[in-house]
Homo-oligomer: A and B are copies of this chain.
Amino acid sequence: MDAVEHFVEQWRAEAPEIDVTPMATIGRLSRLAQLVQARIDSVFEELGLQSWEFDVLASLTRQGAPYALTAGDLERQMMISSGTTTHRIGRLEQRGYVTRTRDEDDGRVVWVTLTDAGRAACLEAYPVHLENERRILELLSDDDREMLTTGLRALGVALRDEPPTPRTPAQRR
């Protein structure tokens, strides 16, 4: 019995004519995402990072050399607004973790490039973060963990959460 199951039962008693089963899945999705995020945040706090900071650094690091994306590509990968993107880049620029460069051929484009310090911070946090995630999933049985992963992957496909195709530095027009 978890919290969502309790809410489902309350709704069945109060409004029995409505099929409440979707809530058992989607209600948990957002609630558990929040609970898991709290655990993840606490690890990043120990590492001196905000979760959103790691998000940016990780997006750039996993691209591989030369560790650069345009502001727009970052925006799409992180699923945030353009205003938030500008703000995030600015804060990380102040911290010395990224640099901004105007594209030479297309004056509208801003390249965000990881500095050595930014890459180092990301690579230091990365294994600690993943170990934390591993510890959370270890609370589940192998079967449950596998069902969860399979179900989530299916949902990702169903919602068309497709891989981003960033502009590569070579692709400058």
Binding site for B on A (CB under 8 A): 1-7, 10-11, 13-15, 18-20, 22-26, 28-37, 40, 61-64, 77, 79, 123, 126-127, 130, 133-134, 136-137, 139-141, 144-159, 161-164
Contacts and interface: CB of A to CB of B under 8 A. Distances in A.
B156 A140 contact: no
A152 B158 CA distance: 17
A100 to B, nearest CB: 23
Contacts of A7: 62
Contacts of A35: 79, 159, 161
A122 to B, nearest CB: 10
Nearest to A4: B156
A23 to B, nearest CB: 6
B2 A156 contact: yes
Contact of A164 (B3, B22, B24, B123): B3
Contacts of A24: 149, 153
A49 B91 CA distance: 33
A79 to B, nearest CB: 6
A19 to B, nearest CB: 7
B10 A63 contact: yes
A164 B3 CA distance: 7
